[in-house]
Structure 1
């Protein structure tokens, strides 16, 4: 028992967070696997649509989270409090506006995505303001390196969504899409625990220094642009397939995307650690490139392993995770994993530059993100072609990021 306590003491908060994220990703996979197996391909397509819409909206939520994390490192005392009140207020207003828009256009969304009911969008919309408030709360913990509390917020959200959705599907006789949306809504409320709202005020929002206001606005707008391009790259394929293909094919593709994206979700864990670390090292005048190399190495090794496993055992993986009904897409599994791996590695580079206030990669990612949408929109004769278009776009994106990094290093050496 004493030895066990000593081992626990040696585990750093960062390591606890990494372990927690792996557990959260595992729980999210259980959640999706449960939905895929119980609902079948057609109904699972609607559940996957809601999860994808949440990821699409997360570009704004993550923008607020990253901005809060960055300036929690830079600001202190009164300036931090003024920024904190302002960012919470802005996030809450944005959440309300987006929620209202989805409520108003719920029936239009039903037509666009070929869903059984518009009520799933109505229920989903109600939880959006809470999601944005939760994002700022997480950004505070992230920037202040309170990884234990940050871990708990992700755990409470994930476990509540998993358990409550299972209970609703078995106990409540409503359409699966509505029940999944209700589970998402309730999980946002659980995700607010724990919250750091001491001293928070929407009425008494003090003025920040003009130069700091400019820095914050610039970072938020450019981060929002990058997050949007990231979401486009990572989720547009699912939405386009849902639009262009029938419900069965859309469900099959959703299962493929869920398995193949495991690299991206693990890479996100390193992004959470990367941003505050790089900002702090830049603030202290220390070299930041070693942090980038470390995380790129981790993601590259992990990606290679996952792609190889998906290539060698596609039928086994598909059957174990979703069942025989999804076996027809097994041959595309390693190819989709390759596309996601390329994106995950380039994503680490982009967040590194964003941490250092280098914004050219945001523009490059935006252009290449739109190129992926156009490629899939024009070339979608079958699911295989959709995956191939993504491999092409992501290869170009990674090459461009590498060229930009090499050029930046050459310029820095010349200046020195």
Structure 2
């Protein structure tokens, strides 16, 4: 792609364009949360934060399918790619349909657990689940083929669709905020389908994978699902547990803290999306994938250190600008939460690196720490500060063990 600026032509690769696009998407999603936090206040924002967290949970589940497609569309012979796509779409629709149905069946129980006020929320979520998973298959195919322009379009459409409809519904007071957010999420799933590679006619065609392909896919799917499940737990269990144990005002304040502290994670996620296919391709072509990893780690380390120092030096300024003075009580915890998130994000880079190389020990390690975080937060949640401290300790240990595995693997 070429861009003209002041009569000068600048060439931008598709990977660079993807990184720019995802930065825009992350900025848009961040703006979405900030406006909702300021607009609604801590109590209502606590309810909305649950919905946003459930969206993140759904995205991590769908990421399992996306990574599967990205990996195997590279590794499977070109003449088998169409067959692979048909099989993946069929199974994805089947299993995501079950998840969507469960959301509807247990809507009342979910409402009670998270102290929400309308079961329609989970009926709308249930409708959206299959749409989101089909979208993730399409994204994975684009990612594996390194078609980053098409991948960028999907993310941009999803983000702009969610922002525009949600703010229209809330701004004109058409429905209550929780329903507005849910409808906005569902609408964004539909827009995110484009550019889409799915057709209903492909479901009617017979398609069978080779036995070796099926075994490899099941193995990768199982391991990736376990890890994405771990990511769900580590990234979101704290918000859900705080919402359950603390009153709404404190839960809303904590949600704002989590939103600011997670900036680094979402930026690193963007880099991982580019890193994964490059590592797989380097291995396939006989090149050293570690060189690819090191190049990305330099930028990631700079980013994490800058974020934590900024949150330590200017916590009240950051919170006041982003959320407003009513959230300032979270200032002393901001750099600590940013530190916990940064530690996890760095460990996450190594886990994804080994996952792309079909080495699964770090996944199991991360899964153990995900479960440990849930147990730790259930046992130790007397104060919000204690909730953050539990996460710092566990994520620091996870990073150290992951680094030890990396250096041991490199030496061997």
TM-score category, normalised to shorter length: over 0.9
- 1:141-220 matches, within 5 Å, as 141-197=142-198, 201-220=202-221
Taking the aligned partners of 2:246 and 2:206, their CA distance within structure 1 comes to 49
Cα distance change on mapping 1:337 and 1:284 into 2, 3 Å = same
Residues 1:270 and 2:271 are matched in the alignment? yes
Cα distance change on mapping 1:2 and 1:374 into 2, 3 Å = closer
| Partner of residue 67, structure 1 | 68
Q: By how many angstroms is 1:171 displaced?
A: 2.0
| Partner of residue 403, structure 2 | 402
| Partner of residue 288, structure 2 | 287
| Partner of residue 51, structure 2 | 50
Taking the aligned partners of 1:371 and 1:2, their CA distance within structure 2 comes to 52
Would you identify which runs of 4 or more consecutive aligned residues in structure 1 move more than 4 Å?
1-6
- Name the SS for the 1:317 alignment partner: helix
Taking the aligned partners of 1:4 and 1:399, their CA distance within structure 2 comes to 48
Q: By how many angstroms is 1:221 displaced?
A: 0.9
| Partner of residue 84, structure 1 | 85
| Partner of residue 361, structure 2 | 360
| Partner of residue 384, structure 1 | 385
Residue pair 2:89, 2:198 contacting (<8 A) in 1 also:
no
Taking the aligned partners of 1:198 and 1:57, their CA distance within structure 2 comes to 23
Total equivalences in the alignment: 410
Cα distance change on mapping 1:141 and 1:5 into 2, 3 Å = farther
| Partner of residue 336, structure 2 | 335
Cα distance change on mapping 1:363 and 1:337 into 2, 3 Å = same
Q: By how many angstroms is 1:30 displaced?
A: 0.7
Q: By how many angstroms is 1:196 displaced?
A: 2.1
- Unaligned segments of structure 2, at least 5 residues: none
Taking the aligned partners of 1:301 and 1:160, their CA distance within structure 2 comes to 32
- Name the SS for the 1:201 alignment partner: helix
Cα distance change on mapping 1:331 and 1:192 into 2, 3 Å = same
Cα displacement string for residues 290-330 of structure 1 (whole angstroms, at most 9, x for unaligned residues) = 11112222111101001111111111111111111111111
- Name the SS for the 1:116 alignment partner: coil
| Partner of residue 374, structure 2 | 373
Cα displacement string for residues 170-220 of structure 1 (whole angstroms, at most 9, x for unaligned residues) = 224422111110110011111111112379611224222211111111111
| Partner of residue 100, structure 1 | 101
Residues 1:299 and 2:297 are matched in the alignment? no
Q: By how many angstroms is 1:6 displaced?
A: 5.0
Residue pair 1:299, 1:344 contacting (<8 A) in 2 also:
no
| Range that drifts further, 300-309 or 85-94 | 85-94
| Partner of residue 251, structure 2 | 250
Taking the aligned partners of 1:223 and 1:2, their CA distance within structure 2 comes to 41
Taking the aligned partners of 2:204 and 2:7, their CA distance within structure 1 comes to 46
| Partner of residue 7, structure 1 | 9
Cα distance change on mapping 1:5 and 1:190 into 2, 3 Å = farther
- Name the SS for the 2:204 alignment partner: coil
Taking the aligned partners of 1:401 and 1:303, their CA distance within structure 2 comes to 17
Taking the aligned partners of 1:199 and 1:176, their CA distance within structure 2 comes to 34
Q: By how many angstroms is 1:2 displaced?
A: 5.8
* TM-score of the two chains, using structure 2 as the length reference: 0.97
| Partner of residue 316, structure 1 | 317
Residue pair 2:87, 2:209 contacting (<8 A) in 1 also:
no
Residue pair 1:232, 1:373 contacting (<8 A) in 2 also:
yes
Residues 1:37 and 2:25 are matched in the alignment? no
Taking the aligned partners of 2:230 and 2:120, their CA distance within structure 1 comes to 28
- 1:218-233 matches, within 5 Å, as 218-233=219-234
Cα distance change on mapping 1:210 and 1:335 into 2, 3 Å = same
- Unaligned segments of structure 1, at least 5 residues: 412-416
Q: By how many angstroms is 1:116 displaced?
A: 2.0
Taking the aligned partners of 2:5 and 2:347, their CA distance within structure 1 comes to 41
Q: By how many angstroms is 1:254 displaced?
A: 0.5
Task: Give the alignment's Cα RMSD to 1 decimal.
Answer: 1.4
| Range that drifts further, 169-178 or 12-21 | 169-178
